[in-house]
Amino acid sequence: MTTNPSVQHRWIRWPEGATPRLGYGADYNPEQWPREVWREDVRLMREAGVTIVSLAIFSWARLQPTPDTWDFAWLDQVMDLLHEHGIAVDLATATASPPPWLSTLHPEILPVTRTGETLWPGARQHWRPTSPVFRSHALRLVDKLATRYATHPALAAWHISNELGCHNVHDYSDDAAGAFRLWLRDRYRSLDTLNHAWGTSFWSQHYSAWEQILPPRLAASHPNPTQQLDFKRFSSDALRDHLCAEREVLRRITPDVPVTTNFMVMGETRGMDYAGWAAEVDFVSNDHYVHPGPQALDELSFSANLVSGIAGGRPWYLMEHSTSAVNWQPVNRAKLPGELARDSLLHVGHGADAVAFFQWRQSAAGAEKYHSAMVPHAGAGSEVFRDVTRLGATLAALAPVAGSVRKAARAAIVFDWDSWWAAEHDSHPSELLRYRQEALDWYSAFLALGVRADVVPAGSDFSGHDVLVAPVLHVVPAELAKRLTDFVHGGGHLVTTYFSGIVDENDHVHLGGYPGALRELLGVQVEEFAPLSDGEQVRLDNGDTATLWTEAVTATAPEVRVLARYADGPQAGRPAVTRRPVAAGSAAYVSTRLGPRQLAGLLGGLLDSAGVVSELPAAARGRVDLTVRRDERAEYWFLANRTDEPVDLAGLPDGEVLARSWPTPADGSGAENLAPRGVLVLRLSDGGAPPRPV
Ligand code: GLA
Ligand code: GLA
């Protein structure tokens, strides 16, 4: 695995003498409970195998009840109590939710929406990322906390704010406008350069002074697309800047304590370009919640995989997931038996060295009282708590895995925030295009074939992979085009799709025909996009059905092979899927949307040509999600049963069973049989013999 050299790595500071282990815990919110409950909490934490909790995330109003009064006594007691019971603390800086006195005194910290509405207090995260007033109050609190707990033996890591940008990433206030201008000055240096980049000759948008520039607020028609793209980049950077400002205070006062913040690599949460944030923290943390639907488990695996890619393959911290239902989806499903453990262990397979839940004890009041927790409303006599305790024991058995890194897959999916943002702008050929969905569909195809694939940010070094799938890689600056071209000329196999290679970093079209920057490499030329209406489909000559998008594709290089043609519709007879052999490599192009099932068929053929095969026995392919970690001694194979049926694992390489989640097979049979929704972890000490023929 290629690692991101800029990513630092300082892990949780476990107490002196602690043996290597995986972390296990939760967000702990003791301020919601009377003190008597705290003692029971720590007793149950011990019982469950909890080793670390995140504390004080939403405690600002309790720690600083008025502008000039502070109350740390309760937190001192909780810190001491946790330490006495051997539980480490990932201490929050508590700045996520400003207290009522602050928003009353300074309503100018409140964020403003695109349409000019103020986001009032009453929920949480009602602060402008660029507010100097908010910043100074927040940093004062960070300073107080860091000073007070600098030498506390429970302090194992700092947790900056909470899910930065969850509710306030795009703020259109006057503070944001001012900060946006400064960001633009830094990026473009001169107005001429900005005017060129933004294409302001269009619609009379030429700027003659910096002060005229605004965030893309509600406008009469489509706002300038480069202004929109830059505002997304700026908004992500503004939150990163807040992260760095808090971190600097912490580094000054507690230079030896690692700093993290919980990312939200999940679903359609898209505001923060985490590939660019990873270098700012000592270790990467992520929150993940399952989004129900046919690809729910694929999405979990995809997200965890991308977090590992962002973390450069190194261990990371799953800061939040749920023991069962959440409270913020339209319908909140409870997990089925086995899912709690499977979800957690899938993250561990993808490199999580600590797994934690939101939250420890289910709230009796407040907006999240119907959100599951480790100790549910029903108490510690519950099935959930039994599962929580079993998971604690399973994680303890997995201690040998701690510190191991991801074993690179031969294939990788390229993921790019600029492309995500720009491909889905308004004023485009189709508003039905979904960037992340297309990437996820390709990931599902890999899962269906039982072939491991990494998910890596577009800035990664691609040289460690043999196959790269870059779906809807829309924004392709010259530098990225060169890296992809070099990859193919070096023997790599590239697969890309419709709406890729189209624009440069300024969202200017690469002229001469699509797919622009990748046209020559792919050996195809497209004169016009021909997207399909919602529900419309056309057939390909191999029997597949295409939706969303078609194009008038012409093969321009004689060696290009047409793998499938459009069979009906306006493009009938034209190439739909092509592959151009290039030296020992190749460049394939898929000009339409095929969906996960049909992509698996196509991908299978492309992987065969590249010599990339499944490491799983045939009976397990598509049914088992395989992730592999490694250290200098061994490989660790995580096999998660994706189905509700047992899976026969006969034919796996020999390995020692390190851990197995429940439910175990009723007949107690060994490693050969994976229970429904079960997970098996094998240690292969010889570094992993190839799979036996099956
Ligand atoms: C986020 C937050 C938590 C909680 C959970 C609920 O992840 O960080 O405070 O609100 O969502 O799922
Ligand atoms: C209107 C406007 C044009 C252009 C077209 C696009 O006709 O007058 O400037 O925007 O719409 O269809």
**Residue 669 reports pLDDT greater than 50:** no
Kindly report, residue by residue over 534-572, the tens digit of the pLDDT: 999 999 999 999 999 999 999 999 999 999 999 999 999
**Residue 668 reports pLDDT greater than 60:** no
**Residue 689 reports pLDDT greater than 80:** no
**Which pLDDT value is given to residue 18?**
85
Kindly report, residue by residue over 573-624, the tens digit of the pLDDT: 999 999 999 999 999 999 999 999 999 999 999 999 999 999 999 999 999 9
**Which pLDDT value is given to residue 670?**
52
**Residue 473 reports pLDDT greater than 70:** yes
CA of 19 to the centre of ligand 2 (A): 68
Residue with tokens 């520039």: 213
HSE toward the beta carbon, residue 380, CA cutoff 13 A? 13
> Of the bound ligands, which one is closest to the alpha carbon of residue 202?
2
Q: Does residue 42 contact residue 87 with C-beta atoms inside 8 Å?
A: yes
Domains and CATH numbers, the chain: 23-172+239-402 (3.20.20.80), 411-610 (3.40.50.880), 619-685 (2.60.40.1180)
> Of the bound ligands, which one is closest to the alpha carbon of residue 320?
1
Q: Give me 610's structure tokens.
A: 């590249």
CA of 358 to the centre of ligand 1 (A): 6
Kindly report, residue by residue over 67-100, the tens digit of the pLDDT: 999 999 999 999 999 999 999 999 999 999 999 9
The radius of gyration of the chain's CA atoms, rounded to the nearest angstrom, is: 26
Task: Give ligand 1 pocket residues (Cβ under 6 A).
Answer: 162-163, 287, 289, 320, 326, 358, 368, 371
Q: State the pLDDT confidence band at 644, using cuts at 50, 70 and 90.
A: very high
To test the ligand 1 pocket, which listed residue (287, 321, 360) has its Cβ within 8 A of the most ligand atoms?
A: 287
**Which pLDDT value is given to residue 338?**
94
Helices (H), ranges, 311-434: 339-349, 383-397, 417-423
Kindly report, residue by residue over 192-237, the tens digit of the pLDDT: 999 999 999 999 999 999 999 999 999 999 999 999 999 999 999 9
CA of 202 to the centre of ligand 2 (A): 12
CA of 321 to the centre of ligand 1 (A): 8
Residue with CA at minimum distance from ligand 1 atom 5: 358
Task: Find the angle CA(654)-CA(619)-CA(648) to the nearest 5 degrees.
Answer: 60
Q: Which residues are registered as beta bridge partners of 467?
A: 411, 493
Looking at ligand 1, which atom is closest to the CA of residue 264? 7
> Of the bound ligands, which one is closest to the alpha carbon of residue 164?
1
Q: Does residue 124 contact residue 57 with C-beta atoms inside 8 Å?
A: no
Q: Does residue 77 contact residue 37 with C-beta atoms inside 8 Å?
A: no
**Which pLDDT value is given to residue 5?**
44
Q: Does residue 24 contact residue 51 with C-beta atoms inside 8 Å?
A: yes
Looking at ligand 1, which atom is closest to the CA of residue 328? 12
**Which pLDDT value is given to residue 694?**
30
CA–CA separation, 52 and 283 (whole Å):
15
CA of 285 to the centre of ligand 1 (A): 14
Looking at ligand 1, which atom is closest to the CA of residue 287? 7
Residue with CA at minimum distance from ligand 1 atom 9: 358
Identity of residue 246: E
3-state secondary structure 450-487: CCCEEEEECCCCCCCCCEEEECCCCECCHHHHHHHHHH
Catalytic sites, residue numbers: 163, 320
Q: Give me 320's structure tokens.
A: 């939040």
**Residue 40 reports pLDDT greater than 90:** yes
Looking at ligand 1, which atom is closest to the CA of residue 58? 9
Kindly report, residue by residue over 418-465, the tens digit of the pLDDT: 999 999 999 999 999 999 999 999 999 999 999 999 999 999 999 999
**Which pLDDT value is given to residue 485?**
98
Identity of residue 503: V
Q: State the pLDDT confidence band at 15, using cuts at 50, 70 and 90.
A: confident
The pTM assigned to this predicted structure is 0.96
Work out the mean pLDDT of the chain and round it to a whole number.
95
Q: State the pLDDT confidence band at 662, using cuts at 50, 70 and 90.
A: confident
